[in-house]
Amino acid sequence: MEIKYQAHRLGDKSGQQSSDKDTVEANFGAKSQQPLSPLMRLLWGLWLLVLILGGLLCYLIFHSKSPDPSTVETVQQQKAAAPKWQGPQPEQIAEKFLAASTQEERLRWVREPAAVAEIMERFYRDGPGATEQQADLKVVSSATTASWAVQQFTVRMTDGSNRQLYVPFDESGGRVDFKCYAGYCSEPWDKLLDGTVAEAAEMRVGLKLADYYNYDFADEKQWQCLAATAPELPEPIYLYVRRDSPAMKEIATCSFTVPMRYTVAIEIQGESYKRRQWLLSRVICGSWVTP
């Protein structure tokens, strides 16, 4: 009887174990069907993002290209070719030019003396130079390219007016750009304003975007309007550039948030001068100083 009782007990235990196993398997299967909690979804998403970013970083590190040796060499050559100031420094040149009292003395300190001699003589004999008196000289900025360097100064006069004085330096040495200093224009503004002169090959102006489209320049799709200023102009005039012209390409890269100095060629279109309008036919330089 004892043996049978134990066997019965063992059989009962075996049956209980089988039942427990079925319950665990059923419960395990039931839990595997439950969706992930929001926190677990977030953690899995962050882990996946880390893996993607890590893979991208490894790709960039192993596939990045080293600089082209030829490009590096070109840049180094350009830096090496940049001129270095020799002889009198820019401020010394500017001071000597401003202190000069005769034509011969001034010509020693300007670029292309033969080309500007007549312009300079008129400026100091009949123009503003006859009465202007310098108050002070102020350094503004400097710039260097592969072929030349330039130092910019502002010259304040006793009457409160200012002139821009540039000292460029290249293989020929450092000298004052007199055309820039004088704001030289190839034609008198009064002759252009009254229509006596129909075109001008070299005018130094300050340009800013404008939106006056009228008369011969009414088509905004064809023209870009610019307001032009100059020391001799009592008020701005309007210059127009054909949008499909080379001149437009020259000015298209400029933001014109402030008036920008340009050297340009202009001409009358019909009787446009009566309405203070001119065609800007050519951009000579995006500055008052030509390289």
Question: Is residue 57 domain-resident?
Answer: no
Q: How distant is the alpha carbon of residue 228 from its chain centre?
A: 20
Question: Is residue 11 domain-resident?
Answer: no
Sign of the dihedral defined by the CA atoms of residues 59, 61, 67, 68, in that order: negative
**Contact call for residues 272 and 238 (beta carbons, < 8 A):** no
Torsion angle in degrees (nearest 10) through CA of 169, 173, 174, 179: -80
Whether residues 145 and 200 share a domain: the answer is no
Question: Is residue 29 domain-resident?
Answer: no
What is the domain range of residue 281? 189-285
Angle (nearest 5°) at CA 36 between 34 and 37: 115
Q: What's the total number of domains in the chain?
A: 2
Tell me which of 144, 165, 182 is where a domain ends: 182
Report the half-sphere exposure of 98 (CA within 13 A, side-chain side): 24
**Token reading at 147:** 């072929």
pLDDT of residue 119: 97
Whether residues 139 and 200 share a domain: the answer is no
The pLDDT tens digits of the residues spanning 155-213 come to: 999 999 999 999 998 777 899 999 999 999 999 999 999 999 999 999 999 999 999 99
- Mean per-residue pLDDT for 2-6? 40
Whether residues 258 and 231 share a domain: the answer is yes
Whether residues 193 and 281 share a domain: the answer is yes
Q: Which helix (H) or strand (E) holds 59?
A: helix 38-63
| Cβ-proximal residues to 284 (8 Å cutoff; 6+ apart), any chain | 202, 262, 263, 264, 265, 290
Whether residues 120 and 160 share a domain: the answer is yes
Whether residues 202 and 264 share a domain: the answer is yes
Whether residues 178 and 197 share a domain: the answer is no
pLDDT at 251 over 80: yes
Question: Is residue 48 domain-resident?
Answer: no
DSSP 163-209: EEEEEEEETTEE-B-HHHHHT--SS-HHHHHTTS--EEEEEEEEEEE
Whether residues 112 and 170 share a domain: the answer is yes
The pLDDT tens digits of the residues spanning 55-65 come to: 666 655 555 44
Question: Is residue 218 domain-resident?
Answer: yes
d(CA 128, CA 189): 14
More confident residue, 119 or 24: 119
Whether residues 111 and 178 share a domain: the answer is yes
| Cβ-proximal residues to 269 (8 Å cutoff; 6+ apart), any chain | 216, 217, 240, 277, 278, 279
More confident residue, 53 or 241: 241
Q: Identify the bridge partners of residue 170 per DSSP, sorted by sequence position.
A: 173
Whether residues 164 and 207 share a domain: the answer is no
The pLDDT tens digits of the residues spanning 80-115 come to: 455 677 788 999 999 999 999 999 999 999 999 999
* Residue 248 pLDDT class (50, 70, 90 cuts): very high
CA-based max dimension of the chain:
146
Tell me which of 154, 182, 210 is where a domain ends: 182
Question: Is residue 255 domain-resident?
Answer: yes
Whether residues 145 and 208 share a domain: the answer is no
Question: Is residue 39 domain-resident?
Answer: no
Whether residues 251 and 177 share a domain: the answer is no
pLDDT of residue 16: 46
CATH of the domain at 162: 3.10.450.50
Question: Is residue 200 domain-resident?
Answer: yes
If you average pLDDT over every residue of the chain, what do you get? 82
Tell me which of 139, 165, 182 is where a domain ends: 182
Helix (H, G, I), strand (E, B) or coil at 228: strand
> Is the entire prediction scored with pTM above 0.75?
no
